[in-house]
Structure 1
Amino acid sequence: MIRALTFGDVIDDVLVFPEGRIRADTDTDARIVRRAGGSAANTAAWMGRAGVRTTFVGRTGAADVDRHVALLAEHGVDARIEGDPEHETGTIVVLVDRDERTMLTDRGANALVDPDSIDDALLAVDVVHVTGYSLLSGHAEAVGRLVDRAHALGAVVSCTIGSAGSIADLGVEVALDALHGVDVMVANLDEGATITGREGAADIGAALAGLAPVVALTLGHTGVVVIDHGHRQFVPAVEARLVDPTGAGDAFTAMFVASVVSGADPVSAARRGVAMAAEAVSVAGARPSRSV
């Protein structure tokens, strides 16, 4: 069994499924679901679902530590969550319209997660997974140091680019400096366009291939382009009943990264990843179903 460390955002998601067009200045009926989320924590949960021995490091409001530790433990994750006495747990309101989402984000205590505080003992694993959200709040240089520390300890480093909007606000060059030298990179089409300045899957994929040896460019319900040391192949998505697309990218990433680190070729890893993403979109929320 491989060992993984993920660190960064853990979130309380408020998922809103409007029943029709949202009307300004009056009520709109909606189904509202509360779930645990956060890209790093979600990826940890899906890694646990994939059979990876996973540790997660994050930060919530002090009153929410036990709850989030328990929720991650349901998926076999060893959660090392620090309670913040002054900041609330991060929260995202997600407006879901079929396969499109609009996210209103308050990072809360996540902004205080310091990569420099992660002990080397936790980095002595097979893979350390970094999300673009961990670069925010002035932590980009510390993430770069963590990438170097993980490599020095023999770990593979994987990353997801995260929010295209957040990375644009941070600065593309800042993000790329922090993620320089990662081994496995996952980005969706918008994120890939943001960090490469290119348009179209072919051009974006070609540019991403210069940033990491193994790249997965996800294309939503269509599938994923895999670039393995410059060799490109398309892997189609698995048909699924769409309930909520939240967390599909995290589910894909978890299985893709775990499979690559376990020795699978990247195309086979992507096939496993799209199958897990199909599982993710069939439930409300960003984590595996508790009944699985």
Structure 2
Amino acid sequence: MSSSAPAHRPGRSARREPDEPRVVVLGDVLDDIIVAPAKRLARGTDTVARVRHRAGGSAANTAAWLASQGVRVDFIGRVGAGDVQRHSQLLVDAGVEPHLAWSSAEITGTVVIVVDGSTRTMLTDRGASAELDFDALTDTLLHGASIVHVTGYSIVQERTPVAYRKLVSRVREAGALISVDPASSGFIADFGPAAFLDLVDGADLFFPSLDEGRLLTGLQEPDDIVHALAERFGAVALTLPTGGAVAGKQGAKLVHAAPASSRLVDPVGTGDGFSAGFLAGWLHSPSVALSTRRGTNTAARVRAVVGGRPSR
């Protein structure tokens, strides 16, 4: 048995004027177990490692980084029944307005993330997040939203394209933009790169990583990937492993943004932070150059903390 009823909110996020631009983020909220081995893993025995527990989920991370920049954010997600209060409070503390449904049949999703320098290897149990229904975005929440941001984790979970296409239609009718972060080359590979690209074709904003861009286009060079994807999307920002990005729109000169200076503490959530920074910039001024720079600045902040959300 499960419920789609909104969770009781333990508190309220910071009050903002109702006419401020607002972003609705729809997707995964998870528990991260971040493992940084001190040396190469030793099979069949112990390896000393730094292990940290953090709240995560690509969509929830993006919501938190948006709120950290003063953006008004509603987050829609799904957790295990016993975690509604905890995850709601964590989002409220981050400045996000949470709307969490719960499942008694599934636990909150969990990801074990093994970090090796700037590389992450993830073992993912999506748990209750896999049951998230796009209809959880009610007309009330959609009304007045400027952007609706969705991650690929939730898109590929649907067995048919009907639910996502219905979501896009509702977002368009409401006058909002649709923003997509593919989020996982592994899940996209299982879903089918061509099928995924066809499904999300036409999104206003698209945020692939370099690995995801290569998978979706079959191309290798960042500039070539952005040119190819810009034929399908309103604006494309391709994130690079260094923390930099290449972005552009069809027929326009590409923007190359170097990574902002920061000390690499943990790469987890770098792409989520970039998306948040770009979206915050786009709300202020729909400039690819300015938004990309804001994205790389936010990505640098993410790399300087352990976990995928702002430090408290």
Query: Shared fold by TM > 0.5?
Result: yes
**Which ranges of structure 2 fall in alignment gaps of 5 or more residues?**
1-19
C-alpha offsets along residues 69-109 of structure 1, whole Å, 9 cap, x if unaligned?
Answer: 01011111011001101101000000011101100000000
How well do the aligned residues superpose, as a CA RMSD in angstroms? 1.2
How much does 1:161 deviate?
Answer: 1.1
Match of 1:275 in 2: 297
Note the 1:245-284 alignment, pairs <5 A: 245-284=267-306
Match of 1:107 in 2: 126
- The whole-number CA distance in structure 1 between the counterparts of 2:171 and 2:81 is 29
Question: Which range is displaced more, 187-196 or 222-231?
Answer: 222-231
- The whole-number CA distance in structure 2 between the counterparts of 1:127 and 1:222 is 24
2:247 corresponds to 1:200: no
Note the 1:188-227 alignment, pairs <5 A: 188-221=209-242, 223-227=244-248
Match of 2:8 in 1: none
Q: 1:237 aligns with which of 259, 266, 282?
A: 259
- Whether the 8 Å CA contact 1:111–1:136 is kept in 2: the answer is no
- The whole-number CA distance in structure 1 between the counterparts of 2:241 and 2:38 is 23
2:43 corresponds to 1:24: yes
Q: Give the letter aligned to residue 274 of structure 2.
A: F
- The whole-number CA distance in structure 1 between the counterparts of 2:278 and 2:124 is 27
- The whole-number CA distance in structure 2 between the counterparts of 1:5 and 1:131 is 12
- The whole-number CA distance in structure 1 between the counterparts of 2:162 and 2:218 is 22
How much does 1:117 deviate?
Answer: 3.6
- The whole-number CA distance in structure 1 between the counterparts of 2:238 and 2:210 is 7
Question: Which range is displaced more, 72-81 or 264-273?
Answer: 264-273
Q: 1:98 aligns with which of 109, 117, 135?
A: 117
CA change 1:147–1:76 in 2 (3 A) is same
CA change 1:115–1:85 in 2 (3 A) is same
CA change 1:51–1:229 in 2 (3 A) is farther
**Which ranges of structure 1 fall in alignment gaps of 5 or more residues?**
none
Match of 2:3 in 1: none
Name the % identity: 44
Q: Give the letter aligned to residue 122 of structure 2.
A: M
- The whole-number CA distance in structure 2 between the counterparts of 1:252 and 1:61 is 28
Q: 2:151 aligns with which of 131, 138, 148?
A: 131
- The whole-number CA distance in structure 1 between the counterparts of 2:50 and 2:136 is 40
Runs of 4+ in 1 over 4 A off after TM superposition: none
2:138 corresponds to 1:119: yes
- The whole-number CA distance in structure 2 between the counterparts of 1:122 and 1:165 is 31
How much does 1:264 deviate?
Answer: 4.0
Q: Give the letter aligned to residue 255 of structure 1.
A: G
- The whole-number CA distance in structure 1 between the counterparts of 2:162 and 2:284 is 29
Question: Which range is displaced more, 104-113 or 199-208?
Answer: 199-208
